Amino acid sequence: MSSYLIRGVRVLGREWTDLLLRDGVVAETGPGLDPSGAQVIEADGLVALPGLVDLHTHLREPGREDAETVETGSRAAALGGYTAVCAMANTSPVADTAGVVEQVWRLGREAGLVDVQPIGAVTVGLAGERLAELGAMAASAAAVRIFSDDGFCVADPRLMRRALEYVKAFDGIIAQHAEEPRLTEGAQMHEGEVSTRLGLTGWPAVAEEAIIARDVLLAEHVGSRVHVCHLSTAGSVDIVRQAKARGVRVTAEVTPHHLLLTDELAASYDPVFKVNPPLRTAADVTALRAALAEGVIDIVATDHAPHAVEDKECEWAYARPGMVGLETALSVVLSTGALHRDGEPDWDLIAERMSRAPARIAGLAAHGHDPAPGAPANLTLVDPAARRVVDPGELASRSRNTPYAGTELPGRIVATFLHGRPTVLDGKAVK
Ligand SMILES: NC(=O)N[C@@H](CC(=O)O)C(=O)O
Ligand SMILES: [Zn+2]
Ligand SMILES: [Zn+2]
């Protein structure tokens, strides 16, 4: 296996150093390392981060390979600086058996661009009626630890309680898509002033908050772990803050788009802005940014949700909700300033929210390590000074549904290394 010398990089924005990657690990660090035998990568001006980890990715395979495959989604992830992604279970067939999660896991290994960790469904067919084979998925080669019916809420409290109890045996997590379905029937966007003006049926904040409140109580009652997917309202932040203060084992994620975009964008009637949960108000965005910085929200997760053209380029009411996000996530987070300190990116905090904490939550032992001697060589190099205009046609994702077309964003991923091998060099996918 070849070795790589990354020359003159600032690890987490700190002092300049060289990094020697060999045999899948960071072999040596320090200024002026001997480059002989290694491929040299000049990293003047670049920042090294632990490879980003996405706890919430939709890869669409099996079933909707026209929208994304494990391979195309993995390439998009690598280009976004990711070295691991957790693949959501709402595929077709649903990832609710050992067979399907093993298939996704194997496809991830074959693509070899990021580590793909399958998430298993909580209920058979995401139907919310009976528990899927959680134990068999946990015991499979895919070693599933996170279970989610994402796309749907596990609305039945008794089923949610049993799922939480079941996964305790192997320290698993239930990741909840918090949406009380009776409160969102026919919903098209956030319920508020803008939905009233546009005459669209609203998705009220309380539909999310009611489920989160219930679930933290259930997790507390049974002593199990719950993770809140794509938390989107100021009220949800308060509930999670209170639960954490009581010692409830709850973690939460926010998406880049909920940190930047608001419900005003629905006035364009452009379905690219249709997403679940919906874009909220500016006040919610402000609360989410503060909660992420504070740590009430543990991580950024993309909820990368690729959709085929016919599912997005249609009337708002018929469009599927969801946005692609892997290739723009870090740039969007940088653009919000949510993880800045004194006007500059706080790279240590960015590493915490986008790599270490998600790796810890998901139990991905090879990820989330700062580049230091002996650490697995899963890392990414960022050019913080670069800016780019997002061109949907240039995305590696098979789908084009980015809300940032034509938007100039800061930061560029220059290189990504997975287990010591480059998956991205000079901003381009290696394979
Ligand atoms: N976020 C979305 O709007 N859509 C997701 C499902 C989900 O995350 O709930 C999808 O699978 O397309
Ligand atoms: Zn969801
Ligand atoms: Zn999702």
d(CA 390, ligand 3 centre) in Å: 22
Q: How many Cβ atoms are within 10 Å of 15's Cβ, its own excluded?
A: 7
Q: Is the CB of 305 under 6 A from ligand 1?
A: yes
Write out the binding residues for Zn(2+).
56, 58, 150, 177, 230, 303
* Torsion sign, CA atoms 121, 127, 131, 132: negative
What average pLDDT is seen over the chain? Answer: 98
Positions of the chain with pLDDT under 70: 1
Q: Which residue's CA is the nearest one to ligand 1's atom 2?
A: 322
- Residue 166 near residue 131 (C-beta atoms within 8 A): yes
pLDDT of residue 431: 81
pLDDT of residue 1: 67
- Residue 54 near residue 77 (C-beta atoms within 8 A): yes
Q: Is the CB of 151 under 6 A from ligand 1?
A: yes
d(CA 177, ligand 2 centre) in Å: 5
Tokens 């740039």 identify what position? 331
Write out the binding residues.
56, 58-60, 90, 150, 177, 230, 276, 303, 307, 321-322
Residue 152 CA, closest ligand 1 atom number: 9
d(CA 307, ligand 1 centre) in Å: 10
pLDDT of residue 2: 87
pTM, two decimals, is 0.98
d(CA 326, ligand 3 centre) in Å: 12
CB within 8 Å of 227: residues ≥ 6 apart: 55, 146, 173, 174, 175, 176, 250, 251, 252, 253, 361
d(CA 84, ligand 2 centre) in Å: 19
Model ipTM value: 0.99
What Cα–Cα distance (Å) separates residue 380 from each residue in 26, 79, 114, 308? Answer: 13, 9, 12, 29
Q: Is the CB of 51 under 6 A from ligand 1?
A: no
pLDDT of residue 420: 98
Q: Is the CB of 90 under 6 A from ligand 1?
A: yes
303 is catalytic: yes
pLDDT of residue 392: 98
From 90, 272, 323, give the residue whose CB has the most ligand 1 atoms within 8 Å, as the site to mutate: 90
- Domains of the chain, start order: 3-47+375-429 (2.30.40.10), 51-362 (3.20.20.140)
Q: Is the CB of 257 under 6 A from ligand 1?
A: no
Q: Which residue's CA is the nearest one to ligand 1's atom 8?
A: 151
pLDDT of residue 16: 95
Look at the chain and count its residues. Answer: 431
